[in-house]
Amino acid sequence: MSKEIDLIIKKYKPGRREELIPLLQEIQDDNGHLSEEAIVKVGNFVGLSTTKIYGLATFYDQFKFIPSGKVSIKICNGTSCFLNGSKGVLDTFRDETGLSSGQTSRDGIFSYEIVTCMGGCNNGPVISINGEYTTHVKPEQIPDLIKKLRFVIEND
C-alpha cells in the first residue's frame, strides 16, 4: 500500500502546490480513497501540514476518506432526471439503505453518490451501478434492485 503511494509521489516534483490536487486525484484513482497515511505522506512531500491537506481535500466532493464499497451506485439528480422523478428514486433509496450521498454501507457492499447529470437526459432517471447504466428507473424498482445486488455479492 505505502509502496504504491510512494511510487505515485515520485512522479511529481516536490514543493509544488499547484500539483497537489492532481497528486491526490491520482492516489485516489489508484486506491479508491485517501487514507490517513496518504494524506500524511502527501503533506510531507508538498511541505504543508496534514491539516491543510485534509482541509483542501474535504472541500472538494471528489475526495473520499473511507474505502468504497463493492458496488458503487450513482444516482443522477440533474435537472432533467429531477423533472422525470429522480426525487422519488432518491428518497426510496435512502429509505431502503439508510445511506446518504458519499457514504459507504457498514457491510461494505454499497457506496452511494448523488451526481448531477451523467448525460442520459432523455432517459432519466438514470442509475449507474459499477458503470452500467439503468434508465427510466422507477422508485418501486429500487427495493428489488438492492435485494438482488446484495444477494449477488453475498453469494459471490
Partner 1 sequence: MEDLKKFLTDKVLLSESDTLSSEADKVLSKIRREKSDNAVIFISSGTSSIIAGSEKTASAVQLYVDEKVPGTEIVRVGCTGPLSYEPLLCIQLLGKNKLFFRNITEEKVEPLLNGLFHNDINKDDLAGQQGTKGFEMWPGIPFLEDMPFFARQKRVVLNNCGCYDPESIEEFIARGGYRAFVKAIRHYTYEDVCNIIENSGLRGRSGGGYLTGLKWKQALNTTSSSRYLVCNAKESDPGAYTDRTILESDPHRLVEGIAIASYAIGASSAIVFFRRGSSHALNRLQKAIDSAREFGLLGHNILSSGYNLDIIIRKEPGAFVCGEETALISSLEGKRGMPQLKPPYPTTAGLLGKPTVINNVETLMNIPLIMQNGPEWFRNMGTEKSPGTKVFAIAGKGRLSGVVEVEMGTTIKSIVEDIADGIKDSKELKAVQLGGASGSFITSETMDIPVDYDVMKEKGIAMGAGGFIIIDENTCIVDIVRYYMEFIRNESCGKCIPCREGTGRMLEILDSVIRKPVSEDSGTTLERFKGVMQLETIAAVMKDTSLCGLGQTAPNPFMSALENFREEFEEHIFDRKCRANVCRGLRTFSIDVDKCTGCTACASKCPVNAIYGTRLQPFFIVEEKCTGCGICYDICKFSAIKVK
Residues interacting with partner 1, by CB under 8 A? 16-22, 24-25, 46, 55-56, 59-63, 77-80, 82-83, 87-88, 91-92, 95-96, 115-123, 126, 133, 135, 138-140, 143
| Closest approach of partner 1 to the CB of residue 92, in Å | 6
| Closest approach of partner 1 to the CB of residue 1, in Å | 22
Nearer of residues 4 and 95 to partner 1, judged by Cβ? 95
Under 8 Å CB-to-CB from 155, ≥6 apart: which residues? none
Please check whether residue 85 is in contact with residue 45, taking contact to mean a CB–CB distance below 8 angstroms. no
Please check whether residue 69 is in contact with residue 111, taking contact to mean a CB–CB distance below 8 angstroms. yes
Structural element, H or E, at residue 29: helix 20-31
Residue 116 to residue 76: CA distance in whole angstroms: 6
| Closest approach of partner 1 to the CB of residue 67, in Å | 19
